[in-house]
Amino acid sequence: MLRAEKVERKAVTVQDVARVAGVSTATVSRALSDPKKVSEKTRKAVTEAISATGYRLNKAARNLRKRQANAVLILVPNLGNPFFSQILHGISAGFSDTEFSILVSDTSDQAGNALNLVDYFLDSRIDGLISLDGSLPNAELDLFHQHGVADKIVFACEWSPEANFPSVRSNNAMGARLAVRHLFDLGHRKIAHVTGPEGNVLTRARREGMLEERQRLDLPMNPDWIVRGDFSLESGFDAAQKIARMKDRPTAVFCASDMVAFGLISGLKQQGLSVPEDISVVGFDDIEMAEYSDPPLTTINQDREGLGRASADRLLAQLRPDVGEDRQIIKLDVYLAERQSTRAI
Amino acid sequence: MLRAEKVERKAVTVQDVARVAGVSTATVSRALSDPKKVSEKTRKAVTEAISATGYRLNKAARNLRKRQANAVLILVPNLGNPFFSQILHGISAGFSDTEFSILVSDTSDQAGNALNLVDYFLDSRIDGLISLDGSLPNAELDLFHQHGVADKIVFACEWSPEANFPSVRSNNAMGARLAVRHLFDLGHRKIAHVTGPEGNVLTRARREGMLEERQRLDLPMNPDWIVRGDFSLESGFDAAQKIARMKDRPTAVFCASDMVAFGLISGLKQQGLSVPEDISVVGFDDIEMAEYSDPPLTTINQDREGLGRASADRLLAQLRPDVGEDRQIIKLDVYLAERQSTRAI
DNA sequence: AACTTGCGCGCAATCGATTACATAAATAAT
DNA sequence: ATTATTTATGTAATCGATTGCGCGCAAGTT
């Protein structure tokens, strides 16, 4: 029984409520936004008038008057990527019982046309911004400062190395070090690395963590063992060809992402090598599939939802003076999830 | 050089532009919203005044006056699920050069508290809604009709079987039939099916498509061969236990999703059965991993991004009287991606 | 008793753009 | 040449809620 009469009542306003309650619009407004400013009695009268009239506050009007949008924008490099969408899930949860709605924009869509993020602020469509994209153009970031909204921005997962915005991230270097350490403990000495895309901050952090641990353990180094990837399945697959054909072939590979690891394993198999018998593989991210792949993937676990929540909290702290912590950089712990894609040599 | 002076200029308004251009605010507004209503000369004057003053139109003010929000809400059952987020990607692309922003809400967040979607309309926060969630409570759907916004709603991927909203979906029944047919052609006769969650429309459509094709081919039927799942990896894994232990064991399994298929393969392996040697497996969705898993998964491809785009277009058609097609149900084609998880018996 | 303090509330301005209506000028029609 | 029509613009009301200012009254001070 889904049909129903369309009731076209012409918007109930504060005026109507005020009239019914026998008070002024000012009082109605106050009763709503700050109940303790009106007396017990009037508050009750207003409440009753509201339910009698079926009043709903018009957000557009409020936004105009209060000069705020009650919305935040989340900037995602690619919504199709499950990794990002899980962070988004956390962000969504983090804002779920606040007054803020979340607007989502995919930076890959506006590829060509500059995105002019600051306009979102200037048009008073948003009050804050969380970017999962660490590679926003500097010109854009400058604009934020110029228009005085720089303090309404938080980075999550990725970050902008040159600028100094609050940032919530995983401890990437630590993750890389755990991975190398794990392989070392299994007896591996010749360890390769498939990186993320050049220029990406995560790529750099993980690569450096790996190099650092390697140095610490005094492992042999062969520049060929660092293979360029881009976090994708394809790039892992391609890397497998190169690695399989190396004269001085590594016995283990640390991949910058789980997707790369899966691609790599698939590629190695095609080259007649099997994991972990011939080569051990460690991933990064611990996506859900890692547990069910063949072989189950040893990898570094990141708390994606935690990243989302923490960044939501962090932005909230900027948006409302009183709440939340305000560290500039929040690093979330990672851990090694040991499965069957690695084995002792 | 990211520091810059914070310029705290107090919002340039139409008033200012009007003064500088030597015209009235009405003219400025017209020059902006409908340029052909003003003369060449004034249009130019206004344009210049705008860039001279650095004017930006305040959306909140416009929204209030025009009684529209220039935003649409996308309802996602679970943002963490890559499948949905890829549809979202398509939707985002579909709206990317329109005047609409997209608000995203995760229905799993508000689990307990009723979500009161109609309030989004009543508060004039949105002009339209795309739901990827086919199981919105009927009470909610009734409200849409009662408040006259029922024609601003489009379902994508999933749909609400009892209600009659526009819907964009894959041809699920066809997909199921292709899967069964493929297995039949390979010589399989004993074909099992791991379903989605009970009550879900996709579960039903796929199950029925399968039964239909089965009937057509006059395949034997054993009720045990229909195993309840829920689209998840775990449920596939669990189903494997049951299937492996059947006395009359099927030689092939059609899974309601790729995730189920991966879980199943992992579970079968644990039971000492291998795919496709002992059992052939077909999935549904064709997620990116399908091509790189071991074995690469034979599956039914759905155009997720297409679903998103088409639903965006469909909603746009409702939002602006003139544009776009207005069929009630748009079914997108699917196809079989044949890989190595199936083989002739 | 006279005086400060503070609470509760109303009046009216305000946020910034859009648009119905009116007016004036320019063009077309007769 | 006169009227009808069109085009370009201005005036001012409007969308609906918030809030600075001020008034009246009750409670607290001395």
DSSP B61-101: HHHHHHT--SEEEEEES-TT-HHHHHHHHHHHHHTTTSS-E
Q: Report the pLDDT value the prediction gives residue A7, as an integer from 0 to 100.
A: 42
Report yes or no: A209 and A176 within 8 Å, Cβ to Cβ. Answer: yes
Q: What is the pLDDT of residue B111?
A: 56
Q: Are strands A101-106 and B153-156 parallel, antiparallel or unpaired?
A: unpaired
Q: Which residue has the tokens 């929040």?
A: A330
Q: Can you state the percent helix, strand and coil of chain A, rounding each to 5?
A: 45, 15, 40
Contact A167, A209 (CB under 8 A): no
Write out which nucleotides of chain C lie closer than 7 A to a protein Cβ. 7-20
**pLDDT range class, residue B325, cuts 50, 70, 90:** low
Quick one: pLDDT band at residue B24, thresholds 50, 70, 90? Answer: very high
Model confidence band, residue B162 (pLDDT cutoffs 50, 70, 90): confident
User: Which class for A123: exposed (0-12), middle (13-18), buried (19 or more C-beta within 10 A)?
Assistant: middle
What is the reported pLDDT for B4? 39
* Residue B236 in tokens: 């596939």
**A to B CB pairs, distance under 8 Å:** 195
Q: Is the pTM of this model over 0.75?
A: yes
Q: What does the mean pLDDT of chain B come to?
A: 91
In this predicted structure, which of B86-95, B103-112, B175-184 has the lowest mean pLDDT?
B103-112
Name residues whose C-beta falls within 8 Å of residue B93's C-beta, 6 or more positions apart in sequence.
A106, A109, B305, B308, B309, B312
Q: Which of A7, A82, A162 sits opposite B146 (nearest CB)?
A: A7
Task: State pLDDT tens for residues B235-259.
Answer: 999 999 999 999 999 999 999 999 9
Q: How near does any CA of chain B get to the CA of A41, in Å?
A: 27
Radius of gyration of chain A (CA): 26
Do A153 and A129 meet the contact criterion of CB atoms below 8 Å apart? Answer: yes
What pLDDT, on a 0 to 100 scale, did the predictor assign at position B5?
40
Q: Give the per-residue pLDDT at A110.
A: 65
Q: Which residues of chain A have pLDDT under 70?
A: 1-10, 110-115, 321-325
Chain B nearest CA to A218, separation (Å): 35
Q: Which strand (E) or helix (H) includes residue B206? A: helix B201-216
pLDDT at A6: 39
> Among all strands, which nt has the closest C1' to A40 (CA)?
C8
Look up the protein residue whose alpha carbon has the minimum distance to the C1' of D18: A65
Domains and CATH numbers, chain B: 14-57 (no CATH), 65-169+305-330 (3.40.50.2300), 172-303 (3.40.50.2300)
From chain B, the residues in CB contact with A109 under 8 A are 92-93, 96
Nearest to B200 by CA among B285, B130, B132, B118: B132
How far is the CA of A165 from the CAs of A54, A100, A150, in angstroms?
44, 21, 8
What's the average model confidence in pLDDT over B72-89? 90
- Nucleic acid strand D within 7 Å of B20 CB: no
Is the pLDDT score of B108 beyond 90?
Answer: no
* Bridge-based pairing state of the strands A329-332 and A298-301: unpaired
Exposure string over A24-36, b if 16+ CB within 10 A, otherwise e: eeebbbbbbeeee
Contact B307, B90 (CB under 8 A): yes
